[in-house]
Amino acid sequence: MSLFSRPKTWLCLTLLISALTSSAAMAQNGDVGSLKEAREAAQARDQARLQSFLDDQQALEAALEEARVAHEAAEEQQAALEAQQEEQNEQAQTLSQRQEEQGEALTALLADLTRHSEEIRNELGGDSWLTLEANALPPRLNDVDVLERPHIEAVVDRLAALTMNTGQAERLELPVADASGEIALRSVVRLGDFAAFTETALLRQGQDEEGGLAEVPRTPSAISELLAAYHQGESREFAIDPTQGSVLEALAQQPSLWERFQQGGYVGYVVVILGGIGLLVALAQYLYLLTVSARVRRQRQALDQPSADNPLGRVLLRFKEMDKHQTPEALEARLDEAVLAELPKIERGQPIVKLLAAIAPLLGLLGTVTGMIVTFQAITVFGTGDPQLMAGGISQALVTTVLGLVTAVPLLFAQTALSSRSRFITQVIEGESSATLADHLEAQSTAHAHAVT
């Protein structure tokens, strides 16, 4: 007779377990002062519950039915687990038999296919242009226990497709990230395993885990023109980097004119600002001298009608106002004084232009020295293990020297042009004023000779 055929025994065991659990809980919660009192209280309560079950036959049968259902569910679960274990054992035996039937040749073939598939995936899975499409690489065979025909066909088909794509130029529609990071579907031309590009830029494999394509930043303009012509079918020429991207990366890192200017720092800004001021002064003064030259040229054609809008006219007016009865030496001195009074306006701006032309190279040299100091400080901290660190610092330091020379050269040309133009105007004024004085002295001498006669 089983345990479930003895209702009273089963019920007593159930009540006993419940009593022990209730006693422990009550002792833990502090509802009874001691464990003995808790146990006695639990026994009294269980006795009362047992008496209620004995008095109520229906409740007793319900408790027994619940226990039977739980036991049957456990037996069913055990049977299911045993059936699953038997199925797995049969499957393992079947696989073992099939593997034994294949023999050592197919086992070795499976090992070779698995190794070659992994080698190809490792070689092409990083940055190869042949893997732009999905499922372009051979499948993994690490989890294959028994070699089947679909496995061999899948590996062979993928290898044949990769081999064929190495010698083809294809046009694909793929998502591409531009320089701003925005991803959009673009028309991409793939040339075997050499390169892939859009209409305006070369492409590179994404560096994140998801891969993807991204435009090469700052693609050289000459290469962009070739890409556009090739993309539109107007040309068959294309630029290929034999170093697998090293040359293009170096070209992309080459700074633009504005970036090169910014490398000069504050000293470079000062040099350029001073050079701009000098050029503005030189331009304004040269325009003034051109205007004066035109007026002087017009005044030379009418010396008997002097005008006050040009230096020569003002000198002639000043000579007219002089006392002609003075000695020739006094007239000449007064005339020289009038000419000297016009020189400051004619030579205005030349000293500052000349000064800025001399200061610009010195400021450039100052920037180079300070830049070299910073470079050597970086070498002190990081050492000489990275030649790019020293080359980059020295290159930035020399930018200020370049800016100083570039600023000084046009300033020197401007200063020379101003000096030549002002010297020409001064010579014209001095020559015409001397000729006017000589004419006056000759006329006065002739008149005096006639008077004596």
What pLDDT score was predicted for residue 337? Answer: 83
Task: Say if residue 220 is in the same domain as residue 305.
Answer: no
In a domain, 40, yes or no: yes
Is residue 412's pLDDT more than 90? Answer: yes
Q: Are 420 and 272 part of one and the same domain?
A: yes
Kindly report, residue by residue over 30-64, the tens digit of the pLDDT. 444 567 787 788 788 877 777 776 666 676 677 77
Task: Identify whether 417 is part of a domain.
Answer: yes
pLDDT at 413: 93
DSSP state, residue 204: E
328-337: pLDDT as tens digits: 777 778 878 8
* pLDDT of the residue at 389: 64
The answer to whether 192 touches 169, Cβ cutoff 8 Å, is yes
My answer on whether 300 and 208 are in the same domain is: no
Range among 4-8, 174-178, 288-292, 434-438 with highest mean pLDDT value: 288-292
Residues 231 and 277 occupy one common structural domain: no
Q: Which residues partner with 195 through β-bridges?
A: 191
- Tell which residue, 218, 279, 248, 266, has the closest CA to residue 399: 266
In a domain, 272, yes or no: yes
Q: Is residue 396 assigned to a domain? A: yes
- Nearest-angstrom CA–CA distance, 431 and 237: 68
Q: Are residues 332 and 405 in the same domain?
A: yes
Q: Answer whether residue 119 is part of any domain.
A: no
Q: Is 153 among the domain residues?
A: no
Q: Are strands 213-215 and 169-177 parallel, antiparallel or unpaired?
A: parallel
Phi, psi of 17, rounded to the nearest 5 degrees: -65, -45
- 306 and 195 within one domain: no
Does residue 78 have a pLDDT over 80? yes
State which amino acid sits at residue 280: L
Q: 396 and 281 in one domain? A: yes
Q: pTM for this structure?
A: 0.53
DSSP string computed for 351-420: HHHHHHHHHHHHHHHHHHHHHHHHHHHHHHHH-SS-HHHHHHHHHHHHHHHHHHHHHHHHHHHHHHHHHH
Please indicate, yes or no, if residue 62 is contained in any of the structural domains: yes
Highest mean pLDDT among 8-22, 68-82, 365-379: 68-82
Q: What is the pLDDT of residues 177-190, one digit of tens each?
A: 876 777 878 888 87
pLDDT digits (tens, 9 = 90+) for 223-263: 777 777 877 777 777 776 666 666 666 666 666 667 777 77
Q: Which domain holds residue 32?
A: 3-89
Q: Which strand (E) or helix (H) includes residue 254?
A: none
Give a yes or no: residue 426 inside a domain.
Answer: yes
Please count the structural domains in the chain: 3
Residues 26 and 77 in one domain: yes
Report the sign of the C-alpha dihedral through residues 187, 157, 209, 240, in that order.
negative
Residue 255 sits at φ, ψ, to 5 deg, of -70, 150
Residues 63 and 200 in one domain: no
Question: Based on the domain organization, do 236 and 359 belong to the same domain?
Answer: no
